[in-house]
Amino acid sequence: MLRTCPSCGGVNRIPASHLTDTGRCGRCKTALPPVAAPIEITDAATFDDIVGHATAPVLVDFWAAWCGPCKMVAPEVARAAADLAGRAIVLKVNTERLPALAARYKVQSIPNFVVFRGGAVVRQQPGAMRHSDLEHLVAA
């Protein structure tokens, strides 16, 4: 995954296994904190790489742009990502753009939240949730 340094604007390649770690910019050596925002997934290969190599739990929000509850829960997902920074990774998967990925996990209603550990599904919960409930879903 590519991350831009907030200090110098340098682009850094971060392996999926280190998304929850504090790193350092390759150009200016400024500390790069763990990912604290949801990562928008644009292809199945990136999804598989992150879920398969992450050393921390991965919370996935399956959503669609036309879905009202998905829009309402988006700030809660962002807050959960910030609160879980360094302890979990939060991904967002648009089911309209990646329908095969949603079908793989039998997503039939959205929003739908799936927690992975070690590349395997450990929890799945459909419906809108508050950030505290999302954090509890990851911790359980």
Instruction: Tell me what pLDDT residue 1 has.
Output: 87
- Asked if pLDDT for residue 140 goes beyond 90, the answer is no
Whether the per-residue pLDDT at 67 is higher than 90: the answer is: yes
Nearest to 70 by CA among 43, 44, 48, 102: 102
Candidates 5, 8, 25, 67; catalytic one: 67
Check if 70 is active-site: yes
* Mean pLDDT within 76-105: 97
Measured torsion, CA atoms of residues 18, 19, 25, 27, in degrees rounded to the nearest 10: 80
Q: Of all residues in the chain, what percent carry a pLDDT higher than 70? A: 100
Q: Mind listing the domains of the chain with CATH numbers?
A: 35-139 (3.40.30.10)
Can 25 be counted among the known catalytic residues? no
Catalytic residue among 8, 25, 28, 70: 70
* Residue 9 to residue 117: CA distance in whole angstroms: 32
Euclidean distance between the first and final Cα of the chain, in Å? 27
Alpha helix ranges (H) inside 4-95: 44-53, 68-83
